[in-house]
Structure 1
């Protein structure tokens, strides 16, 4: 019995062991089955990804394959754009609900998804298996909003890419018999993990294809653009070629018929012209057709009086026209054409018609016409514009051709009728050609003379200012380029004129011009500004050293002895250098003024050197400006004092005339005498105000002066030549002189000799006006070497006043002869001549011996 119980117990243990093994085998079988299902799902999705041509095809394949594994009739995929953050539904399938955009048409799909349960899974990044109760609980917690129809179960799994949620994979069930469990949740998780990479790859491929399409489209557009440009260039080349051919044709000696045939061939190269004709209207108002080609007629139209045809319409309106057949019908309907001459109407078969008036010397002389009969051949506005442009050249060619033909016919007729006079006419033609050539030479010479100095042949101030303006524009466009301006003033030029005479002075200037030219390059510009002043424009220099080297060469060349009147003469030069900059404020006048300032600084430093314009000179200019303002204030406040210096009869020591001289006591600069004040007024451009101030004071003092010096006392007054350079200034001078209380017959107004020579025309005009007022005219600073003695005979002057420097150079026989020549010339021309600067008794005796009877100076005042 015991044995039986033991056996039963062993049997029971074996059964339980077997049952546990069976259970474990079942679990393993279920695990293997689940692994097999997942593996098959992944393999299936991989095959779908391989075969799918787009994301849409991939989503459809995933859905179809998923339906074989789990109930997935209600399935959708939500994805997020990583750039914009917006959500979308690239795939949606549902038994009950339509697409969310149809349920909520007024909302964005992204906003709809984000506030629903799909958005909840997207935010949490965790899988969710939810039934009705769980759904209601999420709504109650405010996590989601209820959207769409209620379902039995909802299963959503996030799609992740590198731990970032990029989408949600969702299945849902409306049937209570269909339930999802851990297997479906795990399966969906595996699928979502696998398809994220596939989605990314397909999306990348899709984006790559789009990029390729876009690039292909861009390349196609670029190709079309380039093709269009090439086509336009070919057209432009054809047009240029045609214009050259027209020009060559006009100069060729071809018959008229061949001439127009060639014109037609040239037009046909540019646009279709199977139907083309050229018409002309003569002085008798008759229309003729020298060229005609047509697809429907072979005979040329006969000449006819002007009527109301299409050709006449173009000739009357003088405008190019492109007319369609409808346009022509409209013109006929309105009576604009063919109303009076319907027999001329041959337009029934015309599709398009272009008429271009031919204009010669501003007059419409004919028309160029082309037309098409084929509706496939369409002219455009650009064809009208092209033909209009070409017609201008054709008109010129026809004009030249007619001129040549007319001349040829005239010559033939002339040869037939006047054979006997052929040689005479030929000689006449030769003479005429010589006259034409001579006139051309004269015109060229006049142009050259207007821009060049008559003595040295160098460019003058006008030419230099033009070149300087061009150079400034160049350096403003090319900021790295630079040029320099050298202002050169020669030393001792006045001594040459006084000692050796004006002829030797001219030889000196010519030789100096040659020496200066040898110091510069071909592309540099050397100009003579007048007198002994020269300016050099050094174009495109590398730096300051270039200008310095040229200046040193010039100083060396000028310092070499000159052979004048068989004697060696040593001169020198002072040079001011200014450099260009890219400032918009710099002008031709300003840089010339800077070089001039630097030159005067070089002269004040002892001559024979060069000075480069810099900020220090600019500072001195600022000081000069301050001094200018003070002078202007002194004039307005009548701080300038005026004394009257007598002019004597040198022999009898009797006062013949008086001359106003100014002086000004400046708090900082001390006393300024008349000469310095004149220079300051000139630098300040206050010459007119300064002269006006002196004249008004002279007018006020005139009564007292007559009482002191007598009724017959003469008044000498020197004024600036600025009064004659502008109409308004000359008008003011005339008004001031005319309205004064001075006996004008006792007044002599003096002008500077140098200014007179530089602007003779304006001075002569002023001289006439002053003479008409009754005043006398004189020339002061005479003998400085600017005017010739012979020119005095043409000037309406009464008195000459020598320059002060002449009295200081009565040192040798040549100088004495020159000063005596001045006296003899004045006496011969019945002119008074006044010696100035007579400061010693010796000078007084010298001037008396030379024939001078009127003078001014310290020695005469002391003797009186």
Structure 2
């Protein structure tokens, strides 16, 4: 949970042995990370294999799934599994994939597969029960010993692993490669043995499951046969009853004087009691016109009856030409069309696309075919049988035969009882299976919910993480856009001294601190609000549905009060606090979740700049200033890249001797908006843009070429960033650049900011020691603000102090502080330099105190050195 500061303590630099041990440890950690990554891949593959075992319906599908996932672990394009069938006592190959050779049964079609496998390297591994990794030389050795017979194409490497279950070999898992660049080793052997050990249980479970399913299928078939027999008996009895009744009705219909439309309607009604006939039509031939007309037509689709048409190559004409009843399904119809038997010349008449089955019976009058009686089904659940075709044929000829009634009441009763017992038994088994499935589904749902929760919540505090909080914030933005009068606020909270807790008390106490902080923050907000953690010590609060920004300020005050209570960490109390930035939603459509989060973050940094332990409400002016800062940062980066900065000199004058004692060197920049930046103003911009090191390096590069004669031998004062001393790489770079300057080391006086020295004294002392070996001198800039004690000056090789600028409107207290600081420093033998841009009273006071060195505020631009970088 520690925020990376980017700095390393240089007080005690590591020795060569320490570095060597660290490098070895890093190498070991990398190997461990690789092993863990490999283990994670293997674990995922095994989980997938287990998942496949629960999903597939056959062992063949399981082996195919194993192959698919095994290929993600090793080169397994050439892969097969040989299993031992305990019932037959023979080896089988349920799955085979090889890019060169076909299946062994195809290579040796006249030989027994078991004998083929037992002669080869697969049978050798099965007999030995041990893993074999063979190259071409190994194959030749085993073949020479008579242990194996070469089968198939020569491979570069062959790896076979026995599949064992309960101390017996049940199969062989094989991969091989023909590619010389692919080599199997100990890792692949361990992986294959691990996978084979895992899948052996899965294979055994599949085998038992297959046996169980076969037993269930057998029992089910027995029940189904009994049920079908009973159903057939019931059907035949009812069919016989319906048929007998229909025969009387047809006979009466034949003798009736009904008109033709009524006759066909009544005939269709009788047919519907015998056979499903929701889709039916009767077609008659007009012999004189050689045409077809349709006196009766009914369809579930509600379409109109076909118009009279000439005899063509339609399906009805095909039936009439064959002169016998036909039962066709959609596949048969498609084959007829493919052969060109129907609809070849009249595809516009084809309306058979939605038909599932079609029955057509020629209508004979005398010995001639005069028409057709047709029914068809549109649903796959309605299937016609040959007996339906026979029944329709019988009805079409107006004759009937009785169907023998062979059912017996006692047989029917016994069949029902047996059926009920079997159904009850099957129902109980299904109920138990359903219970197990429900438990598995419930467990998977719980795992899924936990994964979803972990993906959207912080693992330490349980609060929403950045992704989930951003989603909630985006929802709030969309809500405000739809409801313009609603308003929300975002609080960005940065904890104080969190790094100190981690550095002094350890990460465990740091985690306890964060958990307690989350608890206190939760107590300060409502249930409808959202509290989240988006960084190491950064928390955010979404205050939904507020009346005014004052509501957000009250919550911020509660939070500051709650966090001001000391924390019990370890064996002591620890005082913390926070800086809070507040951003309130606007009424326009420009706000986004990202922009509001940036505004609150910017306000938080303003609060930290004011001294921490407070809150700041973001305003539009702050946004404009931040935008301007981003523009200035981009411009400054561009100026550094294109070397558009110049060197400027400000003399340090000794007033007593009325001569220049030293020269302060700094950089200047002509800002594209037309004003010049230099000295402290440019350094402040660089620090805000995190470009201080780049600016200092640019300055030192200006001294890589000879300086003007009037600077040669003079003291050259350079104000540098303390960031050079806080990281070993930055310190090494500073030393190299000092060495590369064209000035004598004793000319260079390097000044570092007093406030930065106080914050990290140890790093500065170590840096002074390293740079002091070059012969440069050191000083502190910005002195006199009360940051450091006089005692600390004696601990560092500092020989000069540059007093902080008092400004034109400095008060008496500021003047006294500067004067006292100057007197104390001079009493220690330090050189004191004051800025000449203060008020006349301040300058007189410093002069009276004994200060003689003043740096002028007028800078001289050195164009000659500007191109020497």
With the length of structure 2 as denominator, give the TM-score of the two structures.
0.40
Looking at secondary structure, tell me which structure has more helix per residue. Answer: 1
Structure with max Cα Rg:
1
With the length of structure 1 as denominator, give the TM-score of the two structures.
0.41
Which structure ranks higher in relative contact order (CA pairs < 8 Å, sequence separation ≥ 6)? 2
